[in-house]
A and B are shown apart, each in its own frame.
Chain A
Amino acid sequence: MFQHTALRYTALILLAVGAFTQAVTAGYFGLEILTEILLLAMLVLALDMVAGFGGMVSLCHGALMGVGAYAYAILTTKAGIAPPVALGGAIAITGAAAWVIGAIGARSHGIYFIMATLAFGQMAYSYVFEAPFFGGDDGMGGIPRIDLSLLGIDLNDSRSFALFCLVLLGATYGAAVLILRSGLGRSLTGVMHNEQRMRALGLTVWRVKADVFGLSGMIAGFAGALSAQHVMYISPGLLGWTVSGEALVVVILGGLGTLVGPMIGAAAFVILKHEVSNVTSYWHLVVGVLLIAVVMSRANGIFGWIEARWGARLERRLSDLTRKTDAEEITTDA
């Protein structure tokens, strides 16, 4: 089950403060990068939910994000539905698609589950790529952003949009924590550790897997609908398997099963990508070598390494502090 430690709270506060300062002070380019980080963070949260807490390593989350983006684009531009409703619709559609994938894939494990999700993701990719209704490989443009002028917020301004995404990422994180702490989330972790025992306890294993996969898909679809609004243009490339692969790399670099780690990974990944791209066009080489080094080091990503190194020490120091205050209280009471 997911638990907050002192280290995780510290990292969350640092991340939030960093993102907020960036959102208030940065120029146009900085804001674009920040929004990119926030949306990637939302996607990897969804992936970490299923991969880190359910052992379901998915290679279709990029495609799910793309489904959300396309659903939002179709609902707003072709069906003429108001953006907030379309956003809800996109989340529902993606969630339903993910639930079906989760239900079908629930029987397979390990490499077979990876292949099954890859197959579904590529199916969506090829279909969108070929279908003229979805604009084929030209993609679709002219996607509107949500209108919040009633609240006096203009989302077409990149600063407001970045702050909007930051707030939504915070809400999504809260939702992910709630899901993982609920009975459903606990059952999922049980299934990951020992599926047979959970079945023997009377749990319908495939329902648990499908439900969490559906919820994770809703988050991915949400991220997709937001990224469609961010770029205001979508192309089938969004659904390709390399997007899912990159999301998986981010989760691993950050720290699988920590929720906080993948968000740090998202920030590190996007910043690294831009910094390295400035210096050399061979940024894949850097990411590849980094990924190999992280996996070979046997640490659980950046955040997992920090937790293993300093987490225990921090906890001990904090518990020492609280014990000392407790002791003082006792003496003063006496």
Chain B
Amino acid sequence: MPLDPGFWALQALNALQLSMLLFLLSIGLTVIFGLMHFVNLAHGSLYALGAYVAAALATVGGYWTGFFLAPVAVAGMGILLYSGLIRRMRKSGPMAQVLVTFGLIFALLDLTRIIWGDIALAIEVPSLLAGRVSLFGIDYPVYRLFIIALGFAIFAALALVLKRTQIGAMIRAGVDNDAMAACLGINVERLFFIVFCVGCALAGLAGAVAAPLLSVTPDMGLQILIPTLIVIVIGGLGSLQGAIAGSLIFGFVQTFGAVLAPQLASVLIYALLAAVLVIRPMGLFPAKG
């Protein structure tokens, strides 16, 4: 067991980086659920779509074109899904919604395969963020630090919007009691549409920043889906604090579990999820009291 502090700093940074990636994905999913009780299992597929769009645009116009346009493209896809499917599913039960979005996973998986093929795509880290930087006595890739900073920036921005602006107050009201919010003159449906688009854009952004780290494959959406769901259930559906807390718990348990107890690492996080569900069935920070 290596004991030098640099090693642990490295692991902590890796854990933070994984947490921030998961945070970008889970925040959209959890607020969509909190606001409208809509379970969108296809969220992971939107993340894969974002990665593909970013990879495709990066070959044409460089990394930053992909970085800025992938969220826009995925939000566009979100608008299509919303007007085609999701608006019609709003009145059906959670079971039907789970199944429709499950079907959507299958369909989107094969659509990406048809468009981009089965071969994994890879994109380069942009030159601005290439290289390593010395930190706490270790060399750490700048790009991973960029992901951590981006995650915290998005968290801060969302916290600000939710706490200090009028639309944030409307969203909080909608999550707390959507019927009452509607009675008070808030257009909850339009609010939901906006939140849904922002959630999709964030999923696309997560895909774009993950693309240079992981290879872009059709099943990357499926692989990230389970961790994202674990994050939002541990954290508590519908809340910003829940999403960030769940992401940090997942990132650190996963990373340090792999170092300290490699045999149990993969089981650990599921055991934690089961424990949370038994002790606090609504998660650690539920949006509703």
Q: Which residues in chain B, 203-239, are within 8 Å of chain A measured between CB atoms?
A: 222, 226, 229-230, 233, 237
Judge whether B274 and A119 touch: CB under 8 Å. yes
Supposing A241-B226, A295-B100 touch, asked if A285 and B110 sit within 8 A by C-beta, the answer is yes
- B138 interfacial contact with A, CB 8 Å: no
B135 to chain A, nearest CB (A): 32
Chain A residue numbers with a CB within 8 Å of B180 are none
Contact with B along A126-153 (1 / 0, CB 8 A): 1101110000000000000000000000
Q: How far is the CA of A289 from the CA of B111 in the complex (A)?
A: 11
Contact B95 A291 (CB under 8 A): no
Taking CB as reference atom, which chain B residue is nearest A253?
B99
> Contacts A122-B226, A292-B103, A292-B104: A112 and B98 contacting too (C-beta < 8 A)?
no
Q: Once the chains bind, are A123 and B107 in contact (CB under 8 Å)? A: no
Q: Residue-by-residue, is A235-262 near B (CB-CB < 8 Å gives 1, otherwise 0)? A: 0000001100100110010000000000
Residue among B85, B95, B263, B266 with most chain A CB within 10 A: B95
Cα–Cα distance between A108 and B88 once the two chains are bound (Å): 27
Q: Classify the secondary structure of B's interface with A.
A: helix
CB distance from A12 to the nearest CB of B (A): 26
Q: Is the CB of B281 within 8 A of A112?
A: yes
B99 is contacted by which of A108, A119, A252 (Cβ under 8 Å)?
A: A252
Contact: A112 with B277, CB < 8 Å? yes
- A177 within 8 A of partner (CB): no
Q: Is the CB of B99 within 8 A of A249?
A: yes
Q: Which residues of A contact B85 (CB under 8 A)?
A: 292, 296
On whether the beta carbons of A296 and B100 are closer than 8 Å, the reply is yes
B200 vs chain A, min Cβ distance (A):
18
Chain A residues 36-70 with CB under 8 Å of chain B are 57
State in angstroms the CA–CA spacing of A195 and B230 once bound together.
27
Q: Mark B80-106, 1 if CB is under 8 A from A, else 0.
A: 000001001100101110111011111
A120 to B237, CA, bound (A): 20
Q: Are A122 and B105 in contact (CB under 8 A)?
A: no
Can you list, as one digit per residue, whether each of A262-286 has a CB less than 8 Å from chain B (1) or not (0)?
A: 0000000000000000000011110
Instruction: Given A292-B85, A296-B88, decide whether A123 and B222 contact each other with a Cβ distance below 8 A.
Output: no
B102–A291 CB distance below 8 A = yes
List residues of chain B with CB within 8 A of the CB of A291: 99-100, 102-103, 106
Question: Does chain B have a CB within 8 A of A188?
Answer: no
Chain B residues near A289 (CB, 8 Å)?
103, 107
Contacts of A130 in B (CB 8 A): 263, 265-267
A59: min CB distance to chain B, Å:
10
- Cβ-defined contact, A107 with B281, below 8 A: yes
Tell whether, in the assembled complex, residue B270 and residue A126 are in contact, meaning their CB atoms are under 8 Å apart: yes
The verdict on B113 contacting chain A, using a C-beta distance below 8 Å, is: yes
Whether the Cβ atoms of A120 and B274 lie closer than 8 Å is yes
Do residues A126 and B94 form an inter-chain contact, with CB atoms below 8 A?
Answer: no
**Residue in B103, B226, B233, B278 whose beta carbon sits within 8 Å of that of A287 in the complex:** B103
Which residue in chain B gives the minimum CB-CB distance to A51? B95
Verify A112–B226 contact, CB threshold 8 A.
no
Known interface pairs A123-B270, A282-B113. Does A111 touch B104 (Cβ–Cβ under 8 Å)? no
Taken together as a complex, chains A and B put the C-alpha atoms of A80 and B278 apart, in Å, by: 38
Residues in B with CB closer than 8 Å to A116 are: 273-274, 277
CB distance from B243 to the nearest CB of A (A): 15
Nearest B residue (CB) for A57: B95
CB distance from B143 to the nearest CB of A (A): 29
Docked pose: A283 CA to B237 CA in angstroms? 33
| CB of A198 closer than 8 Å to a CB of B | no
User: In the bound complex, how far is the Cα of B39 from the Cα of A245, in angstroms?
Assistant: 15
A306 CB–B CB distance under 8 Å: no
Chain A residue nearest in CB terms to B113: A282
Residues of A within 8 A of B226 (CB): 118, 122, 241
Pairwise interchain contact A295-B106, C-beta atoms closer than 8 A: no
Interface string of B13-56 (1 = CB under 8 A from A): 00000000000000000000100000100000000000000000
Chain B contact residues, CB within 8 Å of chain A: 33, 39, 85, 88-89, 92, 94-96, 98-100, 102-111, 113-114, 222, 226, 229-230, 233, 237, 263, 265-267, 270-271, 273-274, 277-278, 281-282
5 sampled A-B residue pairs with Cβ under 8 A = A118-B226, A126-B266, A283-B110, A284-B110, A285-B110
Residues of A within 8 A of B (CB): 57, 104-105, 107-108, 110-112, 114-116, 118-120, 122-123, 126-127, 129-131, 241-242, 245, 248-249, 252, 282-285, 287-292, 295-296, 298
Besides A115-B229, A123-B274, 12 more A-B contacts (Cβ < 8 Å) are A57-B98, A107-B278, A118-B226, A123-B267, A284-B106, A285-B109, A285-B111, A285-B114, A288-B107, A289-B107, A291-B100, A295-B103
7 closest A-B pairs by CB: A288-B106, A291-B103, A288-B107, A126-B266, A285-B110, A123-B270, A292-B103
